[in-house]
Amino acid sequence: MTAYLLRRLLYSAPILLGVNLITFSLFFIVNSPDDMAHKHLGDKRVTTEMVEKWKQDHGYDRPLIYADDRRGIARFSDTLFARHSLRLFLLDFGRADDGRDIGADIRQRMGPSLAIAIPHLLIGLLIYITVSLILTFFRATYIDFIGVFTAVALMSISAMFYIIAGQFLLGKLLHLTPISGYLGGLDGFRFLVTPVLVGLIAGLGSSVRWYRTLFLEEIEKDYIRSARARGLGESGVLFRHLLRNALIPILTGVVVIIPTLFMGSLITESFFSIPGLGSYTIDAIQAQDFAIVRAMVFLGALLYIGGLILTDLSYVLVDPRVRLE
Amino acid sequence: MISGQLALLISDYLIWSLTLIGGATLILGLRNRLQRERWRMILSRPPAMTAFILLLVYLLIALLDSTHFRPLEITQTADPATSPKQFGTTEISLLDLLLNRIRLTDERSYSAPLALHGYSKEQLVTATGNRRDYPRLKYGGAHITDPANRNRDLLTRGSRGFGIALLILLPVFLLYRLIVRASRLSENNPRIAWTAAFATLAGLVIIGAVGDQLAGPYHLLGTDKVGQDVLYLGLKSIRTGMLIGVLTLLVMLPFALILGTAAGYFGGRIDDAVQYLYTTLSSIPGVLLIAAAVLSVNLYLDQNLTEVASLQQRADLRLLLLTAILGLTGWIGLCRLLRAESLKLRELDYVTAARAFGVADVRILIRHLLPNLGHLVLITVVIDFSGLVLAEAVLSYVGVGVDPSMISWGNMINSARLELAREPLVWWSLATAFALMFTLVLCANLFADAVRDALDPRLRGRQ
């Protein structure tokens, strides 16, 4: 088990390096630091000295990958790649264009993202599983047919529609909740209601359809038939046998996204002006602050790989048949 | 007769050739009995039939809008015989030409659907002096002298449209009865859902005819902030949405097919390399990767590409790059599926037999593996298509979508989403964009469901 974990961790190193190479080539080779300098300084009346000065101030005045004029290890360490991409491995995110510390920003903005994402995940699991179990109970009837059709229709609606409609209905028409905003602590509860509710409804269609497929795949298996043969009622079959076994794929599907919950949701946070990591990213994209985008890409990849490893571990926990060698 | 000079954009060529190739493959495929049976199974479900027809209509509109030309502009000189034939500098499409009645009727600003007056009060100069009131629209309902007559006019025009629709539908209905009777006689099973087809067609014709009567003299769906007709914007957006869906698939298919089957069939080093590639790519959050790529490409374009001819060509180039990026980041899901399926297929007896006979690997891949992967590809492609149409709106909101000058649902939503805060409510642009997008995505999803049920052998006989 430990050996397996170690191997997985080692295997993730080349993947993270690959991620870094991709972002590096996107941000430094497609756009040379000169292009960046021009963009920030504006197009008119920019002298070469100004560009050089900007590059020096922001630490971009170095060769890309290989420094010819340095000696020894500095040939590789005193380059843009080492200074801007590799140090992400040490979770040193550097500074944004406006000089703020990205690492501190990320730590501070994680909370609001989680305040939306965790209730969404937990309540969502409960609702989605219940609804899809009900549909499974009524399988091959009109209730199931209508349910599946509704699910397909719900998942065909743009996520932005749910957000706009939710804000309008709850916030403007019924005056139940604030339209947008965020407040820490218990007082902030009312700010979370609409985003979480909207997220739940937006995810309903695809999740219910997915869970229903899982349940239907499980219901064809032999142990279900033998449970019925022993005279077990339909609800007993569904809850005691089907649900428990279907929880294995459901749980592992959930575990993989748990780490990425930190990243928040881009459009939800932006529409509801929640100061989380999602809106942080979107602001950075719109302001073309590449340092932040680079940091968020790396963080996202790191969390995703963490999620994959957690998934493997959770298999061992919930399914006694699986052993990690 | 309006003449002009054909001026196709790059994306026009791509979507036309794709449609022609796709259509030809489909028709040639129908000569195969098995293929015919499969299509019959798909089209025997009423929802799938309706979805199929609506998808065809969307495709038709997109194709009409993808036939750009420069209209002939006659410059008046003293002698008509020597007046030079001049082609306009901006390209318009066949759809633009058809929609001239609502394309060239810009108002000053917002107006509600079917309204006679503008949305906000203005200072009006009249014979009796200045007053603040809602101004009459320049085009919307301009033929009506007394505003009180509007509803009666709407009713007359509406019922005239309905009557025209009925006239069109009468022969269609007779044809439908004939087809149904013929299909009862034949032994083909299951029967194609002709009733659903006729109902969909009838609905489309009625909406089309009534809309045609009302859309010219009025702004059927209102106007937006700068006074453009919302119906026109919504219809123009169809091309953008379809292009993003279709062209992205064109980019991602070769990657997914080649890498997926090679990884599954050959295994070993190739498999390791492909797996490394897609794990790396998929570990980057999707929107972020797209955003990063689009930002870089746009910055590059801004710095290095200043001499591109027209605004439209520039927007077209950005659209193509966007689809390339979406395709390069979107092939992973299908690739995984194809790899897993090829792993299974290569162990099967007929593949082993082919190998024992000394058939070359490439030939085995093409002749024995690919035909058995067709259903996976088709199902994934239709599902991905609907995801891409939805993604366009989100990407445009984030600021990394299509060119802001391009008409798209994403840009419509983006510019209209703050209008809900106005009093009275401006809902029509949002509603139009969402409704058209919803219809397209729902149709794709329903069609994908039917394709899956008909083609996935594992699901046979389950329902």
Q: Per-residue pLDDT tens for B161-206?
A: 999 999 999 999 999 999 888 888 877 777 888 899 999 999 999 9
pLDDT in tens, A45-90: 667 777 777 777 766 766 666 666 666 666 666 677 776 777 777 7
Residue in A with minimal Cα distance to B446? A152
Shortest Cα–Cα distance, B338 to chain A (Å) = 20
Burial of A152 (0-12, 13-18, 19+ CB in 10 A): buried
A chain contacts of residue B300, beta-carbon cutoff 8 Å: 30-31, 35
Query: Which residues lie closer than 8 Å to A258 by C-beta, 6 or more apart?
Result: A121, A307, A310
User: Could you tell me the pTM of the whole model?
Assistant: 0.88
Query: Which residues lie closer than 8 Å to B449 by C-beta, 6 or more apart?
Result: A152, B47, B48
Shortest Cα–Cα distance, A1 to chain B (Å) = 22
How many CB atoms are located within 10 Å of the residue B437 CB? 29
Q: Round to whole Å and give the CA distance between A112 and A276.
A: 5
Give B344's Cβ-side CA count (13 Å radius). Answer: 8
B chain contacts of residue A202, beta-carbon cutoff 8 Å: none
Question: What's the ipTM?
Answer: 0.83
The partner residue sitting opposite A30, judged by closest CB among B277, B297, B442, is B297
A chain contacts of residue B398, beta-carbon cutoff 8 Å: 266-267, 282, 285-286
B chain contacts of residue A281, beta-carbon cutoff 8 Å: 288
- Check B438 against A172: CB less than 8 A apart: no
Which tokens is B367 given? Answer: 């002749």
User: B133 forms bridges with which residues in the sheet?
Assistant: B122
- Residue A27 DSSP symbol: I
Rounded average pLDDT over A140-144: 89
The partner residue sitting opposite B288, judged by closest CB among A140, A172, A297, is A297
Query: Which residues lie closer than 8 Å to A160 by C-beta, 6 or more apart?
Result: A267, A271, B393, B394, B397, B413, B417
- State the greatest distance between any 2 C-alpha atoms of chain B, in Å, as a whole number: 98
pLDDT recorded at residue A267:
85
How many CB atoms are located within 10 Å of the residue A231 CB? 7
pLDDT recorded at residue B132:
78
CA B39, B42, B45, B50 dihedral sign is negative
What kind and span of H or E run contains B321?
A: helix B311-330
- Check B420 against A172: CB less than 8 A apart: yes
CA angle, A41 then A43 then A44, to 5°: 100
Rounded average pLDDT over A151-179: 86
- Check B445 against A290: CB less than 8 A apart: no
- Check A293 against B293: CB less than 8 A apart: no
Which tokens is A206 given? Answer: 């695809």
Residue in A with minimal Cα distance to B293? A26
pLDDT category at A171 given cuts 50, 70, 90 is confident
Shortest Cα–Cα distance, A2 to chain B (Å) = 22
How many Cβ pairs within 8 Å bridge chains A and B?
126
A93 close to A85: Cβ distance less than 8 angstroms: no
Burial of A7 (0-12, 13-18, 19+ CB in 10 A): exposed
Q: How does DSSP assign A76-135, residue by residue?
A: HHTSHIIIIIGGGGGT---B-TTS-BHHHHHHHHHHHHHHHHHHHHHHHHHHHHHHHHHH
The partner residue sitting opposite B283, judged by closest CB among A157, A168, A305, is A305
pLDDT recorded at residue A43:
60
CA angle, A226 then A231 then A237, to 5°: 65
B256 close to B338: Cβ distance less than 8 angstroms: yes
pLDDT in tens, B47-63: 999 999 999 999 999 99
pLDDT recorded at residue B462:
45
Shortest Cα–Cα distance, A265 to chain B (Å) = 10
Which tokens is B136 given? Answer: 């009459």
- Check A267 against B398: CB less than 8 A apart: yes
B chain contacts of residue A161, beta-carbon cutoff 8 Å: 434, 438
Shortest Cα–Cα distance, A261 to chain B (Å) = 12
pLDDT recorded at residue B143:
78
pLDDT recorded at residue A150:
93
pLDDT recorded at residue A208:
92
pLDDT recorded at residue A172:
79
- Check A300 against B288: CB less than 8 A apart: yes
- Check A18 against B276: CB less than 8 A apart: yes
Calculate the alpha carbon distances from B183 to A117, B36, B194, B196 in Å: 54, 15, 9, 14
Residues of chain B with pLDDT under 50: 1, 461-463
Query: Which residues lie closer than 8 Å to B442 by C-beta, 6 or more apart?
Result: A152, A153, A156, B51
Shortest Cα–Cα distance, A72 to chain B (Å) = 31
Calculate the alpha carbon distances from B342 to B33, B259, B266, B367, B372 in Å: 25, 11, 9, 13, 9
- Check A164 against B420: CB less than 8 A apart: yes
CA angle, B281 then B286 then B291, to 5°: 105
Q: Round to whole Å and give the CA distance between B139 and B136.
A: 9
pLDDT recorded at residue B307:
61
Residue in B with minimal Cα distance to A216? B462
Q: Round to whole Å and give the CA distance between A250 and A278.
A: 25
Residue in A with minimal Cα distance to B281? A19
Q: Round to whole Å and give the CA distance between A266 and A246.
A: 31
